[in-house]
Amino acid sequence: MTTSGIDRVNGHPDIRPELPPRTMELLRERNDDLRDRAVANAEAVRRQRSLGKRTARERLDLLLDPGSFTEIDLYRRHQAHGLKVSEHRPHTDGVVAGSGTIDGRRVFVYAQDFTIFGGSLGQAHAAKIHKVMDMAIDTGSPIIALNDSGGARIQEGVMALDGYGGIFRRQVEASGVIPQIAVVLGPSAGGAAYSPALADFTFMVRGTAQMYLTGPDVVQAVSGEKVTHDELGGATVHGELSGVASFVHDDEESCLEDVRYLVSMLPSNNLEPPPAYVPVGAVDDVRPGFASIVPVEPNKPYDMRVLIEELVDDGEFLEVHAGWARNVVVAFGRIDGAVVGMVGNQPMVFAGVLDIEASQKAARFVRFCDAFGIPLVSLVDVPGFLPGTAQEHAGVIRHGAKLLYAYCEATVPRIQVIVRKAYGGAYIVMDSRSIGTDLSLAWPTNEIAVMGAEGAVNVIFRKELAAAADPDALRAELLAEYSEQLVHPYYAAERGLVDDVIDPSHTRSAVARGLAMLRDKRRPTPARKHGNVPL
Ligand code: HXC
């Protein structure tokens, strides 16, 4: 039996020796009574541990600053009847809720307790979550959900479904107002899966976390397909295939540590500037290392994350969706102390082309950064959009338009750095001047054009090449002419589409100066209900 948590509850009777004896006696009785009510089910806790999972309170201890947790609604319990549920009415109703701090900054939290009704959500459980969500919205604080739940509490029927609806509605109301983080540490079945889906960031732990709308039994009953919980909706599935999980971890400890790291990168709400630290002199930083990261040959692969490491303070950044749509990299980092969101093409994966999933991933990241005032730095090295029937039939036009839309509507400071090549529609989409970047920087080795020289020459000189006595010689001549006239950054710079052609070693300082220059950018948007982003 454990009484963990009860001693930390603020506002409980504090037994002081100077109180009158009768008062002390009463307070002691009540306090003991309260302790008895809050004990955990030892067998369920043992089972939780045997599954490699911590209890809800242990997780909150890892997540929050020591001693900072203030719990509310500890004594709440369900008022349901029927199906023998009224015989068992444990306190908390399977969710521990309240507020605490992370690095001294206030957050609101709720942690579902699988040891009580499998963490399932009934009316009282939902009402507690609604309460902390409302407080988070009212006080402009991030909300963090630790999910470990069998979904809607079956015995409570439609009241459980109503409870979920209340969570979803609040999540949408809070979207773009406060950061919402879901941490899936066990099952998150049925309705419980939509809440992480509506969050800004979703963490999952390998082996213990699963998310699906219908479990393996239903899948088998409906389609005959046999599948395990993990194969259906484990962390690897959502971290690499579906893109539902933004971060995947091997254990709860490193997962909750990374939640703290993410929070350290985010403002508490959309009216607060993102966290900024003391500038580290990046504006004068010359780094010869940049030039050796990017090969001059346009098709030679390299790792964009190495370039990001060179760009940010202390070489530290937090990559989001590291395992999904890896042909684009999205990450938070700091440049001269200030948090930025970075979007970079990844030449190491599918040559860095944009496709459906890369567009979705980058678009959602750009929209998050824009909603929370985080400046955007786009690192461009893109051969174009992925051609082919698979992409076209699956709607690459519609999905690519999401990224276009996201950049076009972003009003935060935006800097584009073209490090090697930028072709066609992908050049436009990757935060070109035409869609509103504030500052476009390019390395001198750069290629910007409608298409590569080979393709371009074949299209515009098709007749001449067909009629030529020596087509290869003519092609070589035309290729050289095309490259010399069009495929270099000065063509764009002469026309104001590139603001500066920079020495690669000055990339960090140029971006830091750009960010300083744009820090107070304000661009009001026209009054409207909301735009109609292509979904
Ligand atoms: C009530 C539940 C429950 C639920 C689990 N429990 N899920 N009680 N409602 N939804 C209880 C179990 O009865 C059990 O109680 C305890 O929690 C632990 O569950 P086990 O099954 O023993 O655990 P385990 O083997 O680890 O399996 C976990 C599980 C499984 C995979 C989550 O419990 C499961 O499949 N549950 C049902 C999932 C589901 O279909 N939920 C409804 C989704 S529909 P005892 O007393 O024995 O300890 C939904 C609609 C909302 O959510 C849609 C909104 C858009």
187 bridge partner residues: 210
- Are residues 287 and 391 both part of a single domain? yes
- Are residues 164 and 298 both part of a single domain? no
* CB of 189 closer than 6 angstroms to any ligand 1 atom: yes
Residue 524 lies in a domain: no
Phi, psi (degrees; rounded to nearest 5) at 108: -110, 145
Provide the b/e sequence for 36-74 (b: ≥16 CB within 10 Å). Answer: eebebbeebbeebeeeebbbbbbbbbebbeeebbebbbb
* CB of 247 closer than 6 angstroms to any ligand 1 atom: no
- Are residues 469 and 421 both part of a single domain? no
Query: The domain spanning residue 427 has which CATH number?
Result: 3.90.226.10
Query: Which H or E element spans position 123?
Result: helix 123-139
pLDDT reported for residue 394: 96
Q: Give, for all 535 residues of the chain, the pLDDT tens digit.
A: 333 444 443 445 455 667 888 888 888 887 776 666 666 788 999 999 999 999 999 999 999 999 999 999 999 999 888 778 878 899 999 999 999 999 999 999 999 999 999 999 999 999 999 999 999 999 999 999 999 999 999 999 999 999 999 999 999 999 999 999 999 999 998 878 999 999 999 999 999 999 999 899 999 999 999 999 999 999 999 999 999 999 999 999 999 999 999 999 999 999 999 999 999 999 999 999 999 999 999 899 999 999 999 999 999 999 999 999 999 999 999 999 999 999 999 999 999 999 999 999 999 999 999 999 999 999 999 999 999 999 999 999 999 999 999 999 999 999 999 999 999 999 999 999 999 999 999 999 888 888 888 889 989 999 999 999 999 999 999 999 998 888 888 899 999 999 999 999 999 999 999 999 999 999 998 999 999 999 9
- Residue 441: how many CA atoms within 13 Å on its side-chain side? 21
Q: What is the rounded distance in angstroms from the CA atom of residue 48 to the CA atom of residue 361?
A: 34
Q: What is the rounded distance in angstroms from the CA atom of residue 408 to the CA atom of residue 344?
A: 17
- Are residues 435 and 493 both part of a single domain? yes
Query: Which tokens sit at 501?
Result: 């052609």
CA distances (Å), origin 423, targets 432, 442, 449, 452, 478? 11, 14, 5, 7, 19
Residue 354 lies in a domain: yes
Give me the active site residues, please: 190-191, 425-426
Number of structural domains in the chain: 4
Mutate to test the pocket of ligand 1, among 120, 158, 195 (most ligand atoms within 8 A of CB): 120
Helix axes 453-460, 471-486, angle to 10 degrees: 120
- Are residues 148 and 206 both part of a single domain? yes
Instruction: Give me ligand 1 centre to Cα 215, in Å.
Output: 10
Ligand 1 atom closest to the CA of 154, numbered from 1 = 9
Cβ distance 515 to 335 under 8 Å? yes
Residue whose CA lies nearest to ligand 1 atom number 27:
150
- Amino acid (one-letter) located at 450: V
Closest CA to 342 of 317, 310, 376: 376
Residue 65 lies in a domain: yes
Q: What is the rounded distance in angstroms from the CA atom of residue 514 to the CA atom of residue 521?
A: 11
Cα–chain center distance at 478: 46
Residue 275 lies in a domain: no
Mutate to test the pocket of ligand 1, among 83, 87, 154 (most ligand atoms within 8 A of CB): 154
Instruction: Give me ligand 1 centre to Cα 119, in Å.
Output: 8
SS3 141: coil
Query: Which H or E element spans position 229?
Result: helix 229-233
- Are residues 224 and 316 both part of a single domain? no
* CB of 400 closer than 6 angstroms to any ligand 1 atom: no
- Are residues 352 and 427 both part of a single domain? yes
Ligand 1 atom closest to the CA of 187, numbered from 1 = 32
DSSP string, 281-322: SGGG---THHHHHS-SSTT----HHHHHHHHSGGG-EEEEST
Q: What is the rounded distance in angstroms from the CA atom of residue 350 to the CA atom of residue 256?
A: 32
Residue whose CA lies nearest to ligand 1 atom number 25:
118
Instruction: Give me ligand 1 centre to Cα 121, in Å.
Output: 10
Closest CA to 298 of 358, 417, 387, 382: 382
Residue whose CA lies nearest to ligand 1 atom number 17:
118
DSSP string, 375-442: -EEEEEEE--BPPSHHHHHTTHHHHHHHHHHHHHH--S-EEEEEEEEEEHHHHHHTT-GGGT-SEEEE
| Rama region for 421: left / alpha / beta (φ>0; ψ in -120 to 50; rest) | beta
Closest CA to 481 of 459, 453, 451: 453
Residue numbers of the domain that contains 25: 1-39
For residue 237, how many other CB atoms are within 10 A of its CB? Answer: 19
Cβ distance 155 to 122 under 8 Å? yes
Residue 325 lies in a domain: yes
Residue whose CA lies nearest to ligand 1 atom number 18:
118
- Are residues 493 and 422 both part of a single domain? yes
Residue 155 CB contacts under 8 Å (≥ 6 apart), including other chains: 80, 82, 83, 85, 122
Ligand 1 atom closest to the CA of 51, numbered from 1 = 26
Pairing of strands 180-189, 210-212: parallel
- Are residues 30 and 74 both part of a single domain? no
Cβ distance 96 to 69 under 8 Å? no
- Are residues 317 and 422 both part of a single domain? yes
- Are residues 217 and 249 both part of a single domain? yes
Ligand 1 atom closest to the CA of 192, numbered from 1 = 52
Q: Output the pTM of the full model.
A: 0.93
ipTM: 0.97
Given 265, 290, 323, the domain boundary residue is: 265
* CB of 150 closer than 6 angstroms to any ligand 1 atom: yes
Q: What is the rounded distance in angstroms from the CA atom of residue 100 to the CA atom of residue 68?
A: 5
Instruction: Give me ligand 1 centre to Cα 120, in Å.
Output: 6
- Are residues 333 and 222 both part of a single domain? no
* CB of 194 closer than 6 angstroms to any ligand 1 atom: yes
